[in-house]
Structure 1
């Protein structure tokens, strides 16, 4: 997943909500190599500076909702 802040002056932050459990959440370089220091909670991306792009690798588990089978 790629997050981009198009604003030229203000930073932003946010989170991703999914209905399935998050098994893995890693911030990665643009080539999808995990960064050596992981600082984000699963599903969150704090402080995206102006015109900055950040990438994350997300892996989700199976749905626990039996009505979706």
Structure 2
């Protein structure tokens, strides 16, 4: 799959940075998370101009992966 436009923030898939922090349970169906962890590889040399946000418990920023 092709990555998201660079003006759309990515998601780290975590709610905090603590070593025992919680992961978002919906991250594997979120385009923001998949772009950050998979789709951007080889396309984005660094994230200097692309925002990467922490996950939010209610997933209000989620972009659902479209089933093909």
The question of a shared fold, defined as TM-score above 0.5 by the shorter chain, is answered with no
TM-score for both structures, normalised by structure 1: 0.23
TM-score for both structures, normalised by structure 2: 0.23
Greater helix fraction, Structure 1 or Structure 2: 2
Greater strand fraction, Structure 1 or Structure 2: 1
